[in-house]
Amino acid sequence: MTTTHNGHEAPGAPATQEELTQELIHDARQTGPRMRRALWILALLTALGATAAILMMLGGLDDHTRWKYYAVAYFYVFSLVMGIPMAGIGLRFARAQWRRPTSRAAELFALAGPVMLVFFLPIMAAHPGLEGRNSLWMDWRLGPWFPDLIMLTAFVCIGLAFIYVSVLPDLAAVRDHGNGRSRNIAASLAYGWIGTARQWAMHKSALGILGAMYISAYAMTHTVFATDFAMVLTPGWKDPIFPAFHAVTGLQMGLGLFIVVQFALRKWGGLARYFELEQFWAYGRLLLALTLFWFYFFWSGFILFWYGRLPHEQQIIALLAFGDPAIDNLLARPQLWMFVGAIGLSFITAFLLIMWNPVRRSILGPAVVGVVIIVGNFFDRLRIYVNTWSIEQVGGHELHEIPTNIGYPGILEILVFVGMLSAVALMILLASRVVPFVSLWETREALLLRVVRPFGVGHAHIVAKPD
């Protein structure tokens, strides 16, 4: 392969293909003592979380209202991590060149799938079933357990297949250039890949197909989860946009976390030249769009409930947003505070910050907004799952009373929450010991497609656009 840079070096980027290989295969995968310690701590927290989940199951599955904070933790983490690979997939479909150094870090989050699958089992068992409730599954006895589990399993498998195909060329690179135990792992995973034209063509179409499947599975899993684990539990709540809201907010908080992850990789991962201002700026714009979507999808549902003035929909507004109107003291309405936290951070604060170009066009700006969004959407999942899982009433056209038995999470729930996050982090850090956080093949391809040439009085970047 020939290099195409014409002596006009863009600052920050590795100058040659060889440098890229050296940096990503050797330097970035060093496991120092600090990393080792982090891995052990994460493993410990994961184990604690799993134990806590088992203890909760032993405590009983009959009363689903006891599981509300588990539901919050699970669906929050699920929404947070499973949308991140979409940043890589979607931007590859859009042929955005700037995503190349970042897409691997996003796609690695597909590895959170098995964790989400394992932690799904208790909440699935705690689901009170569909008897006497509205549901998408009609009177099917196996719903929602069976279809939801199948959906999630399919989603997780697609994600794993996708990440495997995506890292395949890099596994081969590690096999060819790396050393140590990770080389052996990579070699056993990448045995057939030698980079023939035919293999690359298959790789390209496999990425396309699996990517499209991942997007569909993402949407469908969010649809069934949002419906079966929130809407179904609430009498009188029929809201077809809610699954879409759930999916879109999942993307928003995922992107928020992803920007924070990029910030961390830049600051502590030694990968600053891959997560550059250009990437932060572009992701900032995307974050702005998704923040606006947060509000749009919320508002599309809210305005109709509010405007229609149907009694059963007024109750849903009370449940999810304003709290019981019978309580005069606003401070005593927990629903109101969750709602204020959700919309105040996820939309209002985030939007007021990210709308300014100087904020987007910085490293710190999008990262700070990312944190705001992660926190805000925690309140959002709190408002959705705590409130719906507190309802004891089954069936009926209308929700009769707004639950007041919200309560606080116990130590087990907190351990589960921390354990889930640690497990996800552990999976990704372990994977990054084998393949780097920056895709070698995508960045090397970027170098091929990008040239700096004289243009007018200065220089310009030429980007090749192969079909």
Given the rule CB under 8 A, which of 120-128, 150-158, 191-199, 291-299 is the region that contacts another protein? 291-299
Is residue 23 within the footprint of another protein (CB under 8 A)?
no
Q: Give backbone dihedrals phi and psi of 450, rounded to 5 degrees, phi first.
A: -120, 130
Q: Give backbone dihedrals phi and psi of 451, rounded to 5 degrees, phi first.
A: -135, 150
Is residue 455 within the footprint of another protein (CB under 8 A)?
yes
Q: How far is the CB of 216 from another protein (least distance, A)?
A: 8
Give CA 125 to chain center in angstroms. Answer: 24
- Contact of 124 with 61, CB cutoff 8 Å: no
Decide whether 68 or 100 has the Cβ nearer to another protein. Answer: 100
Q: How far is the CB of 448 from another protein (least distance, A)?
A: 5
Is residue 314 within the footprint of another protein (CB under 8 A)?
yes
- Contact of 87 with 103, CB cutoff 8 Å: yes
- Per-residue contact flags (x/-) with another protein for residues 403 to 442, judged by CB under 8 A: ----------------------------------------
Q: Give backbone dihedrals phi and psi of 404, rounded to 5 degrees, phi first.
A: -115, -5
Given the rule CB under 8 A, which of 25-33, 124-132, 338-346, 445-453 is the region that contacts another protein? 445-453
DSSP state of 25: I
Decide whether 98 or 322 has the Cβ nearer to another protein. Answer: 98
Is residue 297 within the footprint of another protein (CB under 8 A)?
yes
Decide whether 1 or 411 has the Cβ nearer to another protein. Answer: 1
Among 134, 199, 349, 404, which residue sits at the site for another protein (rule: CB under 8 A)? 134
SS3 (DSSP) at 190: coil
Run of H or E residues at 105: helix 100-107
Run of H or E residues at 219: helix 197-226
Distance CA 464, CA 454 (A): 16
Using alpha carbons only, how large is the chain's radius of gyration in Å?
Answer: 24
Count the residues of the shown chain that bind another protein, applying the rule CB under 8 A: 70
- Residue of 11, 6, 1, 88 lying closest to 273 (CA atoms): 11
Distance CA 426, CA 193 (A): 27
Is residue 138 within the footprint of another protein (CB under 8 A)?
yes
DSSP conformation letters of 262-307: HHHHHHHSS-TTTS-HHHHHHHHHHHHHHHHHHHHHHHHHHHHHHH
- Residue of 402, 243, 377 lying closest to 319 (CA atoms): 402
Is residue 398 within the footprint of another protein (CB under 8 A)?
yes
Q: How far is the CB of 31 from another protein (least distance, A)?
A: 27
Write the single-letter amino acid at 36. Answer: R
Decide whether 101 or 128 has the Cβ nearer to another protein. Answer: 101
395-418: burial string, b at 16+ Cβ within 10 Å, e else = eeeebeebbeebeebeebbebbbb
Given the rule CB under 8 A, which of 39-47, 131-139, 366-374, 410-418 is the region that contacts another protein? 131-139
Q: How far is the CB of 186 from another protein (least distance, A)?
A: 25
Is residue 31 within the footprint of another protein (CB under 8 A)?
no
Among 5, 39, 51, 93, which residue sits at the site for another protein (rule: CB under 8 A)? 93
Cis peptide before 358 (omega within 30 of 0): no
Residues 94-123 that bind another protein (CB under 8 A): 94, 96-98, 100-101
Our CA angle for 433, 436, 439, nearest 5°, is 155
- Per-residue contact flags (x/-) with another protein for residues 169 to 208, judged by CB under 8 A: ----------------------------------------
Q: How far is the CB of 381 from another protein (least distance, A)?
A: 19
- Per-residue contact flags (x/-) with another protein for residues 201 to 240, judged by CB under 8 A: ---------------x--x---x---x----------xxx
Residues that bind another protein (CB under 8 A): 1-2, 4, 10-13, 93-94, 96-98, 100-101, 134-136, 138, 216, 219, 223, 227, 238-244, 273-274, 276-279, 285, 292, 296-297, 300-301, 303-305, 307-312, 314, 397-398, 443, 446, 448-453, 455, 460-467
